[in-house]
Every structure is written in C-alpha cells, then in structure tokens.
Chain A
Amino acid sequence: MFRLAVKSVKHNPKRLVLTAVAVALGVALAATTFTLTNALSSGFTKLFEEIYAGTDVIVEADPDADPADEDPFAATESLFSHADVEDVAAVDGVASAWGGRQVMGSVLAADFEPTNDVMAGGGPPSQLFNWAGDPRVDQATLVEGDGPTADDEIVLDLDAAPRLGYAIGDTVSVATEAGVEEFTLVGLVRFGESNSLQGATLGYMTDARSAAINGDDGYEQVSVIVEDGADQDAVAEAIGAILPPDTRAITGEAKAAEQTEQFDELLQYIDIFAIAFALIALFVGAYIIVNTFRIIVTQRTREFGLLRAIGVSGRQLRTMILLEALVVAVVSSTIGIALGYLGALGLSTLVEAFSGDIFGTVTLPIDAVLWGYGLGALVTIIAAIMPAIHASTISPMEALRESATESKKPLRLRNVVGGALTLLGVLAIVAGLYLGIEKPYIPVGAGAMILIIGVTLLAAQVLVPLAYGLKATLTRVFRVDGKLAANNIHREPRRSANTAAALMIGVMLLALVATFTESMKSLVTEQFKGNSADFFVFTSQGAIPEGAIEVIEGEDGVAYVTSTGLGTVLVDGATTNVGVIDPETADLAFDYNNEPDFDQMDGGAFIDPSMVEAGFEVGDDITVEGPEGSATLTITGKYLNEGDAQVWVDEDTGHELLGDYPIAQSMVVLDEGVDATAAQDQILEALAVDYPLVVLQSPGEFEQLANQFIDLLLGIISAMLGAALIIALLGVANTLLLSVTERTREIGLLRAVGVRRRSIRRMIRIESMVMAVFGTVLGMILGVGLGAALVRALEDFGFTTITIPWVWLLIYTIAAALAGVLAAVWPARRAAKLDILQAIAFDG
C-alpha cells in the first residue's frame, strides 16, 4: 500500500504542487520564528553569561520577596548602604565587595540637535554604571586611555564612542533626569570578550558622580569576588545570613542561568504568537488540501474502483489516501522547514545590518523541525480524512462506469450541520464576550473556528442561488462566457464554497483587525474631544523629569502644568495601582470620565470599576500603604474607565504614600490668547538646555502619533496574515487548475463548436473572480461582525463607537477581484491551450 501511495504521488506530482506549497508556506512561517527566537536566545544567553561571568556572588533584591511582607516596596529602593557593602566584604571567604548602581540617562550623540520628535534619542538605551576598576566586577576591560578617576570623567565602550561621534578628550553630554551632565571622555572599554552589547551604549563614571546624579548614595547590588579556593555557594550562603530582609545572595553562574531562563520564557510568547499565525495559515491551507484530495479522489474514481474489484478493501484504500497525504506532508514540511531556515538567515542578516549583532549563531533548532513536521503532518492528514473516507466508499462498480464526476448528493445534511455549527460558534463567541468568563479568548477563539466551518458549509447553499442570480448579469455583461462561468460555479457548490472559504478566513481576520483598529482610532479621537490641554509632554527616557516640568512652568504664557504620577500601594493588603493627579487642574485640562469631578476629591480617593467590583463603595474608608507611609482615605468618587489605575489620589497624598513618584503624563495649558506654535518653540528651546529628550506634542500631533502606532499594529498583523492570504489564492488557482483538467473534454467540445481561446480564458477568469469576491464579501461580513462584537465587549476600556473601516473594505474587495484574476492566469492559460482533438479523445 505504501509503495502504491508513493508511486501515485510521484506519478502525477503536478496536481499536488500547490497543496505542497500551501503546507510549506505555513510550516516556513513557524520554522522562521523558531529559528530566529532560538538565535536570539543563544545571543542573549551569551550576553547574560558575560555580564555575570567574572562576578562570583551577586547580592541583590530578592525577586521572590513576598509583597505582603513588612516592607513590600523594598525592590524599588536603593537597597544597600555603604555599611552593608562593608558588612558583606567582612564575610569569611570574600576577597572584595563592590556596591554597584545604575544611572538613568542617555548618552547624546556629538551632533545631537533637540527636535520635537518623540523618537529622538530613541533606540537602544545607554547603560551607565559606577566604575569599580576591576574587570571581574565591571565586566568591562579598559582597552584605551584610563578609567574615570575624576568626577567629570567618563569611559564608553569601544563601539559606542565612534558611533556617537566621540574620541578620547572630547566632551560627552548625557541627558539624565537631573538635566544634561557633561563629562570628558578619558578611555574606551570592551564589554566581555567581544563587546557584543546588542546595540546598547555602555558607559562608566565615578562612584561619587553616579550617586550625585541619582541623588542617592545607596547601591542596587553588591558584586562579590571570593578568595581563591573558597566555595562560591558556601560564601553566598554566609552572605545571605547577614543580609537585610528581602534581599538575597546568588552566584554569578546561577544568576546568568536565571536570566537566560527568564528571557527564554519571554521568547516562548513570540513562538506562541508565531504558531498562532502559522496555524491560521495552515487552517486556510487545510481547505486547499480538502479540495485537492476531493478532486483527486473524483478523478481517480475508476482507479479506486478497479483496486476495489481486484480485492483492495475500503479500509486499505482509505489508508492509501492518508499515506499519500503523509508523503505530501513530509515532502512539503521538509521544504517548509528549509525555507523557514533560509528565511531566518535572511531576516537575521537584514536586522543585524540595522541594529547590530543581536543574534547568536543562526542554527536550525530541533523545535523548528519538530513543530514543522508536526504541524504539517497534522494539518494534511486531518484535511485528507474526509476525502479518504469518501474514497473508501467507492464501489468496485465505479471502475466500470464511463465518466467520473462527483455525485450530486443533496446539500441538506451539509446545511443542517453548517447551520448548527454556525449557531454554536455564534453562541460560543457571545458567551465568551459577554458572560465574563475567566479566559474569554478560549470560547471566542473556538467559537470563531466553529463559526468559520459552519459558514463554509452553509456557503455552498448560498452559492447556488447566488450563481443563478449572477447568471443573468454575467450573461448580459460577458454573454456566453459569463453564463458558462456561472454554471461552473454552481455545478460544484461544495468545491466552490470551500475555495471561497479559504479566502474568507484571511479576509475575515483582516476585516476584524481593521474594524478593531479603526474603532481604536475613534476612541483616540473621542478622548481628545474632552481635552483642553495645549500640549502633552513626552520623553523617550521613561518618567518625565521633575525638573523639566519646572522649566515648562517657568515659561511665559504657561498657565499651569498638570501631571499624572503612577505608583504601587497596598489597599487593605492587596497590591493596587495608584494614580496621582492634581484635583484642581486635572479636569480643566482633560475631561476625565469620572463622577464627580476630581476637584471634589477633598483629600480622599477615587476608585475605578474593578474596585467597585471588589466591593468598595463611595463613602467607605480604605487603608492605603505605600513605601513611604500609609493613610486612611475616604472614597469620594469614581473613575469610570478601567485599565488606567485602580485608585486615584491627590498630590499631597501621593507624596505621603510614595515619596517621589515617577510622572507618566503631563499636560500643559497656556494662558488665554497665547499663540500655541510660538509657545511650543519657546518651551522647547528652554527644555533643550537641560532636558533635550523631553518634547511637547500638540493634541493634533499626539493623535497623529497614536494613529501611526495603530496603523503600525494593523500593518504587522496584516503582514503576518499575508501568508494565509497567499495560500488562499493558491487555493483558488489550485481548484481552477484541477477543474480544468477535469473538464478537459467539455472545454475541447466548446472549442470544437467554435468558442475562441480568449473566451475560454475569460470564462475561467470570471469564475475565479466571482469565487474570490464571494469569499471576500463573506469574510468581511464575518470580520466586521466579530470585530464589532469585540469592540462592544471592550466597552469598559472606553470603546464607545464601532467604526466600520469602509475604506479598507473597499480596498479588500478590489484587491480580491484583482487577485481572482491573477489566480486564474495559469489555469486559464492551461484551458485555452488544450488541443481540441486531444481534449475530445481524452480518456479519464
């Protein structure tokens, strides 16, 4: 049986080519991602190993510290004092201990010009530390010049200095939260062995200067070198015994392993994301496989009948078809994996050309091979099951029949099953979206899958009247070519429906994403309606420096700046996000969705819907604990949007609880009658002196920026769905191609009675276009419907309007029609080229 299956695939590989391409594309998508994430992983594993290579023991905040402990905010503080470092140094077996701290800041390029571009100074951040002078602690070796000994000296890594335009002796500017700091470049260092920093800038300054910039002379971690011959684990344990609470001592080796593990976990999400898209592509591919095998079974009815006559059982026949599918799966998965590997090589080279050496060695990981073959084989076999069962029911008498056509079974069973599945799918989606289930994406995803299959089944029924309905129009426009095309479509409604459905899935997802992103844009626009601020303050450096806000406030024409800070507190023992606003000005600058207005806060707290759900009510007293202090607050109002912060307090309370908190957002309101453009230039000029990375955006600019990000999201998802769409189009081409082979005699007859080649080509093209547009329209209806349902379900996050992306829908329809024509090129040419005599003599 196996030999027969292999022979059969080899005998007529052409009819399986497009099926194989479909499977290969899906597999390639998965293999590329696996290879890339694997290379990233090996690249970063090396980085982590180099970071912790020389250090024997690291003392740091304990990531496992229980947040409900006495001091849950320890991790956010400077942990270690000078005394702590000295205590560690005194532990038996410790040769030396060095307190390390990082300075938040960006080394500005020599030719840096302040602009109003949010992304200015973006890219990989600078990593700035205090200099120990010991390569085992710094993980960097001086290769040129000297280390920083005076407080105005700095060293940079040997790649960053030329990249940023600095040579030894130059003055280097660093933008920090405390303003722009200037240094003299005195030396160059190499990180680890090959300075592979994945594109980041590395710099060191003196301990005193770093403490001055941070405004804190504590340390975040202590690096320990043990005495020769001492046992690292034992020393780590001894240090652990004298440490402050919620800190820990860990060997450098273990730390590197831990970091690698955490990074790999992160990469796993990328893999899952890629597998999801590969599955979508393969799901679409499955439709092609079903159709191909279906048609092949029909075409080989006599062959199967003969096999049955000479003693092959139905079961053996079924096995044979599945074996054929397996052969196709193995061949195409192999190609897919190879393509995926090449794709990963190409992509990694391309990415490294822009962002430096971030990948390790690009090798084909075992995951890629396993997932590739697994996905490929699974999808192909599952898709071939129905046609294989169909083949096994062929009676030996079929061998004796003259022609082979698919039997005209009524569509009733298909309709009943399709209707039931559609209903079930809709119910699952509605349940997932509105019943507030724990993991709503599971019923929604499963529901969408069931809905798609249901609609595919029903589509066959819709196609019949549609094709009849279109016949008159097509006949009027294209005369006999149109009539024949319409006939062809409803002659095999199952096949046409499956073909259209493959396209439907891709378009559905596109329409869904487009509906969602367009509604998101509406949300942005909606939110700006409530805005009366003239500018939003941004920085690419994380929190907005306190000093920058003071600069803005000091400018002429500025009425006030209102800021939102964020922090973490415990409310009645539960970890809670807190937002800090200025109640007097917040509502003036921006119409927040709250009741009453923030100026009624009266020293109390506002709570969001999640807190209401947790049982808190206006008028209740809550105990709030912060890292700097605690307070009992009365709930004085509600903030109605979800997802921003759970509890809102005023600035005084904020300082009391959090001390200095990071500012996430600032809005600038100008005095009446001040020219906004002139004011923007004036403020930016003032900021350029000390805070060159802080920029101002007008609401229009900000909205544009937000929309750009939304469009980028749409673009990325569309590109990922591209593979599915290409596969769907291959499916249209494949079905047509196989149909042309099947209709050889008929086409020969048409040619014999005088139909011109051009007409035959046009007939196939019309058929293709109708199927493509039908699939697209179905996909858009489903996609917009699902997108709307999703937006409705996210009402709590502020989504108020469902925006139907008409422009995109129009573009998709036109693209589908064009793609339909494109998909028909090859089949149409094949059909037109058929030799009349041969076509008539053709013996199925």
Chain B
Amino acid sequence: MTTTSTVTIAASMRGGTKDYGSGDAAVRALDGLDVDIAQSEFTAIMGPSGSGKSTLLHTLAGLDRLTAGESWIGEQQITGLSEDKITQVRRDKIGFVFQAFNLIPSLSARENITLPLDIAGRDVDPQWFEEIIAILGLGDRLTHLPAELSGGQQQRVAVARALVARPELIFADEPSGNLDSRSGAELLGFMRRAVKEFGQTIVMVTHDPTAASYSDRVLFLADGRIVDEMREPTADRVLDRMKQMGH
C-alpha cells in the first residue's frame, strides 16, 4: 500500500446515532456521526469523558447496536444483521483488545491466543504464530495461565490473540490504560509495528495523548460528533487540541 490515491475503507458509519435510556433519563451518546476508517491505518479516537468515544468503538465493532444510522465493516453492512450474523462477522473479521479482562482465566497464554481460530474451526498458521510471538516477546510465557502473567504480558497476549486470525480490523479500548508507562509504550510500539509491517488496520480509543501519538490519524469526539481530526500526531499537539476542547 504505497500509493495514497486509492484509500480502501475498512469500516464506516453514516448518521450513527445511539441513545441510552428513555424519557427524561435519555442520553444521546452518538449524534448523527459520519466516519470512515482507512485500511492499514492506525486510527485513534479521542475525546473527553462522555464524548461517546467508547460507544463509537462498540457500535462500529458490532458489540452494540445503533439506534439510527448505518455502519459497515469493509463491504459488509452491520446494521440490520441478526445477532448470529454479527457474531460471525466479529469472529471472522474483527479482533479486540480491551483495557482489562482480556483473557479467559482457565486457558494458558497459547490457548488464549489461538482461541478465535479454535472457535472458528480454523487452523493456526504456525509461521505467522511464531512471528507474532517473536515480535511480542511471549516465547517463554506460552504455557502460563493469565494469573501468572504481568499486566503488560497479559495485554501483549491480548494483542497476539487479536493478530493471530489476521482480522480485517482490530479494535482496542484503552489497551494501555492499566499499564505502567514503560509497558504501555512497549505495547503501543508493537501495535504500530503491526500496522506498518503487516498492514494491519487498528482503531483505538484512548484519552491519553501519548498513546494517541502512536497513531497515524486522531479523531476528536465531542457530544457524539467528530469535531476535528489530526494526521501524524505528536503528544504535544494532541494535548494542545484536547485543552482547546476543554478537557
């Protein structure tokens, strides 16, 4: 993907609206939002608390349903699909990294990593598996249970799991939120390498400007709408922009 003239869209949303609750207690988390996520790009979504950034990630990934509007993963329209179909899309096309509780406590690191493939009944590509393990430095940790791993190692296992099935898209929700700064930097570095070296598409929600600076493009959210975007971000520029937004 060396040319920028034809950008392939990995995911998109048109007029995305999401309401929580009803009546007086109703809260509009997304307000007619339009967004396109480019393939092989590392996109960060930022915004103050309650801006709707997590909701955007959840609805885009098919974890939650829009109240109105439409969304696509690649060519596949998500809105209107049955729960089973959406589950299948998540299984075949999407990887996830959450802030915490990413791993099944009863499975070893290796079993956690291959879980999406096991569920889909697909074979593990041993070469690809080894490559991921090598990059993430998990080689000697594969037989350990999650409880025996450090927080940083657990998140790296989560990233490996997200990568192993070669999904079209990886959604990450504050992946470094629970980590110390060194482990966090390492983890984000790996994610960036995945985008640069393997052409992986990643969408990450964060409120940390430093984390956002690892991305190619930052989308700023406020009150359920995209209010700005920034390419080639640095931590300082992102922080400045956030200050303007009254964060």
Contact = CB atoms under 8 A, between A and B. Distances in A.
A302 B101 contact: yes
A303 B119 contact: no
A10 B173 contact: no
Given A311-B119, A313-B87, A399 B106 contact: no
A396 interface: yes
Interface string A1-39: 101100110111000000000000000000000000000
Interface in B60-98: 63-64, 83-84, 87-88, 90-92, 94-96, 98
A310 B90 contact: yes
User: Counting chain B CB atoms within 10 Å of each CB, which of A310, A312, A313, A400 scores highest?
Assistant: A310
A134 to B, nearest CB: 74
A309 B63 contact: yes
Contacts of A311: 87-88, 90-92, 94, 116, 119-120
Contacts of B161: 310
A316 interface: yes
Interface in B88-128: 88, 90-92, 94-96, 98, 100-107, 111, 115-116, 118-120
Interface string A726-758: 000000000000000000000000000000000
B141 interface: no
Contacts of B104: 4, 8, 303, 306-307
B67 to A, nearest CB: 15
Q: Sort chain B's interface into a size bin.
A: 20 to 34
A400 B119 contact: no
A761 interface: no
A11 B98 CA distance: 23
Given A310-B119, A311-B87, A311-B120, A400 B105 contact: no
Nearest to A10: B106
B91 A310 contact: yes
A314 interface: yes
B90 to A, nearest CB: 5
The DSSP consensus for interface residues of chain A is: helix
B207 interface: no
Contacts of B64: 395, 397
A397 B90 CA distance: 13
A518 to B, nearest CB: 53
Contacts of A316: 119
A410 B58 CA distance: 28
A8 B106 contact: yes
Interface string A265-305: 00000000000000000000000000000000000001100
Given A11-B105, A12-B106, A400-B98, A310 B116 contact: yes
A308 interface: yes
A314 B120 contact: no
Contact of B115 (A310, A315, A395, A400): A310
A11 B146 CA distance: 12
Contacts of A309: 63, 90, 96, 98
Interface string B168-181: 00000100000000
Nearest to A302: B101
Contacts of A308: 87
Contact of A4 (B88, B92, B107): B107
Given A7-B106, A396-B63, A306 B101 contact: yes
B153 to A, nearest CB: 16
B87 A312 contact: yes
Contacts of B92: 311
A3 B114 CA distance: 13
User: Counting chain A CB atoms within 10 Å of each CB, which of B64, B90, B101, B105 scores highest?
Assistant: B101
Interface in A378-396: 395-396
A312 B86 CA distance: 11
Contacts of B106: 4, 7-8, 10-12
B164 to A, nearest CB: 11
A669 B95 CA distance: 96
Nearest to A315: B84
A396 B173 CA distance: 14
A309 B95 CA distance: 9
Nearest to A305: B101
Contacts of A8: 104, 106
Interface in A540-577: none
A303 B115 CA distance: 13
Interface string A300-341: 001100111111111110000000000000000000000000
A400 B87 contact: no
A397 B63 contact: yes
Contacts of B90: 309-311, 396
Contacts of A10: 106
B63 A7 contact: no
B120 A400 contact: no
B65 to A, nearest CB: 10
Interface in B142-192: 145, 161, 173
A315 B94 CA distance: 20
Nearest to A12: B106
B83 A314 contact: yes
10 contacts: A1-B119, A4-B107, A7-B111, A310-B90, A310-B115, A310-B119, A311-B119, A397-B58, A399-B98, A400-B58
Closest 9 CB pairs of A and B: A311-B91, A11-B106, A7-B106, A8-B106, A396-B63, A313-B87, A311-B90, A302-B101, A310-B116
